[in-house]
Amino acid sequence: MYSPFGIDIEKSIEDSLDLQKKFVKGMENLLDVEVTDSDITPKDLVYSEDKMKLYHYKPLVKNPCKVPTLIVYALVNRQYMMDIQQDRSVIKNLLELGLDVYIMDWGYPTKEDMYLTMDDYINGYMNNAVEYIRKAEKIDQLNLLGVCQGGTFSAIYSSIYPEKIKNLVTMVTPIDFDTDDGLLFKWGKHLNIDNMVDTYGVLPGALMNSGYLLLKPFQLMLDKYVNLFENMDQRELVQNFMRMEKWIFDSPGQAGETLRQFVKDLYQENKLIKGTLEIGDKKVDLKNINMPVLNIYAQYDHLVPPSATIPLNDHISSTDKELCSFPVGHIGMYVSSKSQKQMSPKLAKWLMDRSK
């Protein structure tokens, strides 16, 4: 039956009822959804210092790799992105592939941490975590896997303490900040970081998050919610969405003095590449990185473009060095099916071959 305007009334009523059913089912999913399965791969707290915690994952194979791997995540966001859910867990994959894995949790800085510097994080917390592992495992060297800003910290650490690192893996890591690819790098060059740090002391995580959302406003603030509404009757999709939203907005504040140096010395003066960076009383020379290096980057990364990552291999003295890319974005490196099927096996094999 058609209306005088040519509208199929019967079909319109059916579509309206389907939409109502979908909406009701979606509301049931949203009200009933539980997101408690992140960061659940079994692990032990083995060392802590102030708000930093060092965890050791329980091995998932009988004879894991003899050289343990320490994962260092960025100060922004939380390290459990690497263990976001059991069927998309980079950590669980690496354990099943035979690695022995430790991970650092930086915690949530408060006002008392506003004066923490990059020296405190790298020569202090990182070095103390490395020393704990060396002593506990009775080894001279361990593998270091740095992610995003944690990769920058790991490259700096490896240049200061090369004798303690057997293999270095950097993942979606900014090294050369003299690039105009990516809005974050353009902002960083002109950011009045002194004003922000002097005002806040510890920059709120919500403020940092607002900036990241503005990097892709339509996709991150509109498209994904439209997509959720269109698929809200699918329980698994709603759970995945809520799990990611929980991680995205679980943003720690940033210790002001650390952020001040990171922005001024790296984004604005590119001192890491120029060889003029100093962390505490130690000069940082990337040429000191002489151990095997695997540099992994995402081809469609809007936060850390390939042009900021690739140059690492041109500034180190390692003879065993490899660039490896995957056709994913920054977050896709951890949670995409490509990551689970390709990146983790590649990373684990590369480390196992060099840890004998």
The string of DSSP letters for 65-127 reads: -SS-EEEE--SSS-GGGGGSSGGG-HHHHHHHTT--EEEEE-----GGGTT--HHIIIIIIIH
Using CA atoms in the order 286, 351, 131, 254, what is the torsion angle rounded to 10 degrees? 60
Pairwise CA distance, residues 212 & 214, whole Å: 5
Q: Name the DSSP class of 262.
A: I
- Chain centroid to Cα 344, Å, comes to 15
Pairwise CA distance, residues 199 & 256, whole Å: 9
At residue 103, φ and ψ (nearest 5 deg) are -145, 145
- Chain centroid to Cα 139, Å, comes to 27
The string of DSSP letters for 183-211 reads: HHHHHHHH--HHHHHHHHSEE-HHHHHHH
Residue 148 among the catalytic residues: yes
Residues 6+ apart with CB under 8 A from 174: 148, 149, 151, 152, 266, 304, 308, 309
Counted residue by residue, the chain has a size of 356
Pairwise CA distance, residues 257 & 261, whole Å: 6
Residue 88: both structure tokens together:
């998309």
Closest CA to 116 of 189, 193, 51: 51
Q: Among the options 54, 65, 81, 148, which is catalytic? A: 148
Tell me which residues are annotated as active site. Answer: 148
